[in-house]
Amino acid sequence: MLYLDHAASTPLRPEARAAMVPFVGERFGNPSGVHATAQQAKNAIEAAREQIAASIGAASPLEIVFTGGGTESDNLAVVGAALPTRGGIVATAVEHAAVLESARFAERLGMAVSILSVDRLGRVTPAAVAAHVDSGTAIVSVMMANNETGVLQPVAEITQAVRAVSDRVLVHTDAVQAFASLPVEVYDGGPDLISVSAHKIGGPQGVGFLFVRDGIDLEPVIHGGGQELGRRSGTHNVAAIVGLGAAVEATVADRDSYRSNVAAARDRFEQDLRLRIDIENTAGTAERLVSHSHLRFPGIAAETLLVRLDLAGLAAAAGAACHSGAIQSSHVLTAMGIDPVAASESIRFSFGRGDDASTGVAAADTVAGVVEALT
Ligand code: PLP
């Protein structure tokens, strides 16, 4: 099996699994209690919080809020930042649905929303973002890297440009796809809110965190018993949080080798494919994640190709895997100005941990063979 859908979900890392095992067994306590069994769970959560804070250079572990995944982190950032001041939201048209739908929700509550258009490669410029910011803006949300194309946004420069307009505007970045291969570091003057999801980096599904810079007042989106200092109620998923902590630490520790191996896999894949069949790279010359390869196969329906690839033992994705089921022209490709026919002929291949140049060779051989049989 050639699994090239790591951007959708990547296997659990052994470090995460090992850390989780006791907490799906004898260490079952609810961390909100006072007795020893509860405290064992509480200590495990706080250790994970410290592990994560240290891994991203956060000043305090209290800046880490555990959530039910990337989607919830994005909701908490966007809605949570806009509600206290009822200020406006600025986001790019290629953000994940978790950001865009959160913005739409806030809009229904009466907040102003600006969705920024992107260029042909899916990027925004710092100047274009700054032009949409004013003193009434509560939050700007720009992803580090796009989940479909892997294309990077100049988040540091955008943050600087936004601050030059108003230092009261919060900047959020969705680092869900980027975290596996790019340094995600907290720094003075950098983004105030950062979303990360465990299952894209070798942790379990259904857990993530939001970095919230000290002093930022977020309105919670989940209400209840006041866990996470009132920022996210609900009994903690201890096993998942412990797995997330281990996955974050291990990811940061071997990011450099991950990056070079995955780049070798992806680059060899594209290089070998080009020698055999006609492909168009959606990301063009844009800077992108080493893991992603978003390709158009002119004249071949993505749906047909995906099914044939699956039969040949290769897993890939079309559209955004997060809303998989029916394949429809994705909002990302539409925002990039890619016509529906080209979009319907495009597939995302995403490489991950354990892959190297030999994966690229095998994947190119399988894909080229299937495409040749279809043409
Ligand atoms: N943001 C981005 C960029 C993503 O790629 C995804 C998932 O694909 C999410 C957010 C949502 O994360 P989760 O699946 O943990 O809810």
Cβ atoms within 10 Å of 181's Cβ, excluding its own: 23
Q: Round to whole Å and give the CA distance between 31 and 34.
A: 8
Residues 192 and 49 in one domain: yes
pLDDT level of residue 327 (50, 70, 90 thresholds): low
DSSP-derived secondary structure for 249-311:
HHHHHTHHHHHHHHHHHHHHHHHHHHHHS--EETTTTS-B-TTEEEEE-TTS-HHHHHHHHHH
Same domain, 269 and 364: yes
Q: Is the alpha carbon torsion for 306, 311, 316, 320 positive or negative?
A: positive
Handedness of CA 65, 70, 74, 76 (dihedral sign): negative
Q: Is the dihedral of CA 68, 69, 72, 78 positive or negative?
A: positive
- Residue 181's CATH number: 3.40.640.10
Shared domain check, 98 and 212: yes
Is 322 among the residues known to form the active site? yes
Q: What percent of the chain has pLDDT over 70?
A: 98
Atom of ligand 1 nearest to the CA of 8: 8
- SS3 of residue 187 by DSSP: coil
Q: pLDDT at residue 162 above 80?
A: yes
Write down the pLDDT at residue 112. Answer: 98
Q: Ligand 1: distance of its center to the CA of 39 in Å?
A: 31
Q: What is the total count of domains within the chain?
A: 2
Q: What is the largest CA-CA distance in the chain?
A: 67
What's the domain range around 29? 14-253
199, 265: one domain: no
pLDDT at 93: 98
Q: What is the pLDDT of residues 62-118, one digit of tens each?
A: 999 999 999 999 999 999 999 999 999 999 999 999 999 999 999 999 999 999 999
List pLDDT tens digits, range 315-325. Answer: 999 974 444 45
> How high is the pLDDT of residue 322?
42
Residues 197 and 302 occupy one common structural domain = no
Average pLDDT value for residue range 19-35: 96
CA 175 – ligand 1 centroid, Å: 9
Q: Are residues 213 and 285 in the same domain?
A: no
Return the residue matching tokens 């806030």.
106
Q: Which of residues 253, 282, 306 is at a domain's end? A: 253
pLDDT in tens, 246-291: 999 999 999 999 999 999 999 999 999 999 999 999 999 999 999 9
Closest to 197 in 3D by CA, of 354, 29, 322? 322
pLDDT band at residue 183, thresholds of 50, 70 and 90? very high
Expressed in angstroms and rounded, the spacing between residue 33 Cα and the centre of ligand 1 is: 31
Q: Decide if pLDDT at 135 tops 50.
A: yes
Q: Which of 202, 230, 253 is the last residue in one of the domains?
A: 253
Report the mean per-residue pLDDT for the chain: 96
Distance of CA 336 to the CA centre of its chain: 19
Using the mean position of ligand 1's atoms as its centre, give its distance from the Cα of residue 74 in Å: 9
CATH number at residue 297: 3.90.1150.10
Q: How does pLDDT run across 28-48, given as a tens digit for each residue?
A: 999 999 999 999 999 999 999
120 and 208, same domain (yes or no): yes
* Residue 296 and residue 247 in one domain: no
Tell me the mean pLDDT in the region 317-340. 78
* Domain match, 84 and 37 both: yes
Confidence band for 302, pLDDT divided at 50, 70 and 90 = very high
Domain boundary among 218, 253, 288: 253
* Claim to verify: residue 68 and residue 123 sit in the same structural domain: yes
Atom 12 of ligand 1, residue of closest alpha carbon:
70
Looking from the CA of residue 98, the nearest atom of ligand 1 is 10
pLDDT at 217: 92
Q: Round to whole Å and give the CA distance between 103 and 184.
A: 24
Among candidate residues 322, 357, 361, 368, the one labeled active-site is: 322
- If one residue of 177, 179, 210 were mutated to test the ligand 1 pocket, choosing by the most ligand atoms within 8 A of its CB, it would be 177
Co-location of 236 and 262 in the same domain: no
Radius of gyration over every alpha carbon of the chain, rounded to an integer in angstroms: 21
What pLDDT does 344 receive? 95
Q: How confident is the model over 184-211, as pLDDT tens digits?
A: 999 999 999 999 999 999 999 999 999 9
Residues having CB closer than 6 A to ligand 1 are: 69-71, 74, 96, 98, 143, 147, 174, 176-177, 197, 199, 208, 322
363 in the same domain as 311: yes
